[in-house]
Amino acid sequence: MRINRMLLLACCFGLGGCVPRIEVAAPKEPITINMNVKIEHEIHIRVDKDVEALLKDQNLF
């Protein structure tokens, strides 16, 4: 009985040393992000003929 307890205690101490280690460290070189982006867009608006005539009469656009 005493040998079983000593064996169990030895196993617990042995497994206690197997703790996973997590390390967070900053990189040695700075992080660079190249943002060479070209954005082109076109907007097409279709309007009803009545609305188009109203806009032409009001000279809004």
Residues 17, 20, 23, 24, Cα dihedral to 10°: -150
Examine the pLDDT at 47 and tell me if it is beyond 80.
no
**The pLDDT value given to residue 40:** 92
Q: What is the mean pLDDT of the chain?
A: 79
3-state SS class at 29: coil
**The pLDDT value given to residue 56:** 80
**How does pLDDT run across 14-34, given as a tens digit for each residue?**
666 666 778 888 888 988 888
Domain ranges, ordered by start, for the chain: 35-61
pTM of the full structure: 0.25
